[in-house]
Amino acid sequence: MKTSVISCLFLLAFAASAFASAPLPSSKGNKTLPAGTLVILETTEKIASDQVTVGKTLLFRVRMNVVVDGKTVIATGALAVGRVKSIARATYNNPEEITLEVLYAQAVDGQQVALNGAEQTYRGTFPNESTAVEPGQTITATVMNNIQINL
């Protein structure tokens, strides 16, 4: 519960700072997606820590439109690619932990937008037990570099 509250506060603070920044100039028919723009994603499949290995490629889905100057540059439902970054095996006293990261999301023009800081660790409930990440779990990321999106 405490983690959920902290995560929500972090998202609200980050969203407020993203909206406060001045928009970057764009050319006709293009929009510049600024670095640091928040992208909210979700898992698309069940990921069980005892059935995956480090480096396994995973699919994610964009949960909310990413909008620049009133135009959608990354649409809800767009696919994103990530991987299993690490797995900390269960011990007698601790449950298993699995860390996922998102690397790229697809923009409306088909480009792969590099994402940064999209790392989330999920921990099991009981010691000496594996863990699973259910479909629909939220993971957040930010755009790594400024990128021109063709509309």
Q: What is the pLDDT of residue 94?
A: 86
Cα–Cα distances (Å) from 70 to 16, 20, 23, 144, in that order, read: 16, 15, 11, 21
State CA 134 to chain mean position distance.
15
For 97-121, the DSSP string reads: EEEEEEEEEE-TTSPEEEEES-EEE
Please report which confidence band the pLDDT of residue 20 belongs to, taking 50, 70 and 90 as the band edges.
very low
Burial 81-100 (b: 16+ CB within 10 A, else e): ebebeebeebeeeebbbbbb
- Neighbour count for residue 23 (Cβ, 10 Å): 10
Average pLDDT over residues 136-148: 93
User: Bigger pLDDT: 124 or 19?
Assistant: 124
How far is it, in rounded angstroms, from Cα 14 to Cα 107?
Answer: 21
Q: What's the domain range around 120?
A: 2-150
Number of domain units in the chain: 1
pLDDT of 5 strictly over 70: no
User: Bigger pLDDT: 21 or 47?
Assistant: 47
Tens digits of per-residue pLDDT, 45-94?
A: 999 988 999 999 999 999 999 999 999 999 999 999 999 999 998 888 88
CATH number at residue 55: 2.40.128
